[in-house]
Amino acid sequence: MIVKPDAIVEPSIVAEGLTRRFGEHVAVDHVTFAIGRGEIFGFLGPNGAGKSTTARMLTGYLAPTEGRAIVAGFDMAKHPSAARRHIGVVPEEANVYADLTVRQNVLLMAELHGLSRLERERRCGELLQTFDLEVRAAQKGRELSKGLRQRLMLCMALVSSPQILFLDEPTSGLDVASTKMIREVIARMNREHGMTVFLTTHNMDEADQLCHRVAIIDRGRLAAIDTPAALRGRVEARRSVVVKFAGSGAIPSDVLPRPDMEVEPLVDGWRVFSPEPGPLAQQIAARTAELGLRIESLNTLSPTLEEVFLSITGSAHGHP
Amino acid sequence: MATREVTNEAGMAEFLRQARCAWVIAKKNARVYYLKGPVLTFGIVFPLFFYLSFAAGHDAPVEVMVPGIAAMALFFTASAVGPLVTPWERQARTFERLVTSPASLSAILAGDVGAGAAFGALLALLPLVVALALTTAQIGAPLPLLAGWLLGATVFSSLGVLMAAPSTDTPSQVMMLSNLVRLPLIFVSGVFVPHAQMPKWGQWLSPLSPLSYCADLVRVGFGGTAYFSVTVDVLALAGFSAAFMIAAHFFHRRTRDRAI
């Protein structure tokens, strides 16, 4: 299902036939979607699929070759500054000012957004506290680890209390604690302030946990756009039952209702694929009892977003 | 789909917002790029010794040497860092941060020009003050000197920012281009040799160099006579500033996408 821009009543972000060519290479090819106010929208795709190029066109860093980007109601080509007053951006690569302190970096962005001195100080203090950077306020950007720099970039993006937050791989390469903190803050900002979030990521779990809808871009074209649950529903065949038999390394051949079923060995058990995992689980339990065997664990499993991603993009030309 | 439009009143407010952004960027540049020991030292030492190495063998009179050193110092300091700011920002990936902020490209470039001009105008005061203290040179006409100083700083800084336009994140490439442009200008600007004593080809080329008009105004400021005229000097410097800024905007816009 491709949601047309008009289908969203109050869109925060609209891409209308966005296209970007670099010479002969078409990096983004007529991409169209709309993102509603207060939505967390995941933008997934293999390396080089056009995720960052799309994000850069939406934030006004890159002009589209064709099509247009409308952000916070403003056409990015006509009124870029007006549109950018409503957005915060965390680009893919860490880009804080190495010679400015943590505090100076945040205040710089606050000043560029035209916040008053009092407001700048208040927002800066709040954000440094939220991201646990208060004790590092006087440290230079160059002295920070990658995780701390990423937190600082979020502070810089959020200092103006933007309506829309663009995040390009915000947790890529971060430690567990920083990743958790960043995800929690994104979810909280969305929940409490209705902030719209455009998130490009390689991390399927992240998209699954955070996003209301996700789009998958492949070779510059939009391949799918829907809720994570609906996308998972597209690959019914990837539903499965995970079973572990007590004291047995191999899956007993008579346990399965059909011998041609797809079975995948796991580290700790077996995964049997079926579009109807509920009845299959019951059949496995009954057959195991008949054979006098014992089951240690038995669960049904929905397909992961990663499986959806691979089924749409294909595994031949690149993994996420 | 319908989009929001910016009204005329909002247009005026937008202009003021962009002026503020330019000021913020100028302050940031001063803090990040200009107030560094090596930059300060290079800005003073290079033009001073460059001039002295020439003047030592020519027994130049004070009224020629002091305005020459002052104009050279202003030229070098105001145009020294501007060519490097954008490549540094691209290299550090901070340029993307600025371009996706509410600051327009014009505001970013105006901030770069402002910081360079202020740096040049202030730092080049040092050799000027030293020369006034140690030699018999005296300021005879403060207004032309002030005009030459401020306009010169602006035009040289604009030239520096224009030279930052190539889509590179390698500062050394820009430095090469910068020196290729700046060094020849010195020899045709009446800094080392008074215009009247320059060869014919030098006299023809001299009006093409903004340094000629700046040096002329500084010379008048120290009681010398103008080669062009004060009015021509002021108009030429203002015109060069506008032309360099417009060209900088045009080329930076064109090369921005290529630099990604």
Average pLDDT over residues A106-115: 96
User: Between these two residues, B33 and A311, which has the higher pLDDT value?
Assistant: B33
CB-based contact (8 Å) between A186 and chain B? Answer: no
Look at residue B58 in the predicted model and tell me its pLDDT: 66
Is position A123 within any domain? no
- Strand, helix or coil at B61? coil
CATH number at residue A259: 3.30.70
Q: Nearest-CA residue of chain A relative to B256?
A: A62
Ramachandran angles phi, psi of B195, nearest 5° = -55, -40
Determine the residue of chain B that is closest to A5 in CA distance.
B1
Whether A4 contacts A225, CB under 8 Å:
no
- pLDDT recorded at residue A102: 97
How many domains would you assign to chain A?
A: 1
**Which site among A16, A111, A167 would you substitute to test the B interface, given the most B Cβ atoms closer than 10 Å to its Cβ?**
A111
Is the CB of B18 inside 8 Å of chain A's CB atoms? yes
Q: What is the pLDDT along chain B (260 residues), one digit of tens a residue?
A: 777 776 655 678 888 999 999 999 999 999 998 877 777 777 777 767 766 776 666 667 777 788 888 888 899 889 888 888 888 888 888 988 898 899 999 999 999 999 999 999 998 888 888 878 888 888 889 999 999 999 999 999 999 999 888 766 777 777 788 888 888 888 888 877 777 788 888 888 999 999 999 999 999 999 888 888 999 999 999 999 999 999 999 988 887 766 55
User: Cβ B100–A59 below 8 Å, yes or no?
Assistant: yes
Q: Smallest CA–CA separation between A35 and chain B, in Å?
A: 14
| 3-state SS class at A257 | coil
Does residue A316 carry a pLDDT above 60? no
Residue A253 lies in a domain: yes
Residue B30's SS3 state is helix
| Range of weakest confidence among A283-292, A298-307, B2-11, B172-181 | B2-11
Q: What is the pLDDT of residue B7?
A: 65
B16 close to A85: Cβ distance less than 8 angstroms: no
Kindly give the interhelix angle for B125-134 and B105-123, rounded to the nearest 10 degrees.
20
Q: Can you give the pLDDT at residue A263?
A: 87
Kind of pairing between the strands at A164-168 and A87-90? parallel
A268 domain residue, yes or no: yes
A256 domain residue, yes or no? yes
Q: Report yes or no on A264 lying in a domain.
A: yes
What is chain A's mean pLDDT, rounded? 87
Taking only Cα atoms into account, the Rg of chain B, rounded to an integer number of angstroms, comes to: 19
Q: Tell me whether A69 touches chain B (CB under 8 Å).
A: no
Interval A136-159 mean pLDDT:
93
Shortest CA gap A139–chain B (Å): 15
Residues of A with CB below 8 A from B14's CB?
A: 81-82
Number of domains in chain B: 1
Q: Domain range spanning residue B147?
A: 12-256
Residues of A in contact with B259 (CB under 8 A): none
Kindly identify which residue of chain A lies nearest to residue B90, measuring between CA atoms. Answer: A95
Contact flag B100-A5 (C-beta cutoff 8 Å): no
- The answer to whether B39 faces chain A, any CB pair under 8 Å, is no
The strand order across the sheet containing A66-71 reads A25-36, A11-22, A66-71, A74-75
Q: How far apart are CA B78 and CA B159, in angstroms?
A: 9
CB neighbours of B2 closer than 8 A, spacing ≥ 6? none
pLDDT of residue A161 exceeding 60, the answer is yes
Residue A94 within a domain: no
Domain that holds residue A288: 236-302
CB contact under 8 A, A63 and B257: yes
- The whole-number pLDDT of residue A209 equals 86
Residue A235 to residue A240: CA distance in whole angstroms: 11
Please state whether A257 falls in left (phi above 0), alpha (psi between -120 and 50) or beta. Answer: alpha
What does the pLDDT look like over A17-44, one tens digit per residue? Answer: 999 998 889 999 999 999 999 999 999 9
pLDDT at residue A4 above 70?
Answer: no
* B17 reaches A (C-beta below 8 A): yes
**Residue A281, in any domain of the structure:** yes
Work out the average pLDDT over A125-139.
95
What number of C-beta contacts closer than 8 Å exist between A and B? Answer: 93
Contact status, residue A86 vs residue A71, Cβ threshold 8 Å: yes
User: B-chain residues within 8 Å CB-CB of A5?
Assistant: 1
Closest by Cα among B155, B16, B131 to B74: B155
Token pair 């089924």 is at which residue? Answer: A311
Residue B2, in any domain of the structure:
no
Cβ distance of B4 and A74 shorter than 8 Å: yes
- Per-residue model confidence as pLDDT tens digits over A201-237: 878 788 888 999 999 998 899 988 999 888 887 777 7
B175 and A CB contact within 8 Å: no
What is the maximal distance between C-alpha atoms in chain B?
Answer: 74
In a domain, A316, yes or no: no
Structure tokens at A318: 């690149």
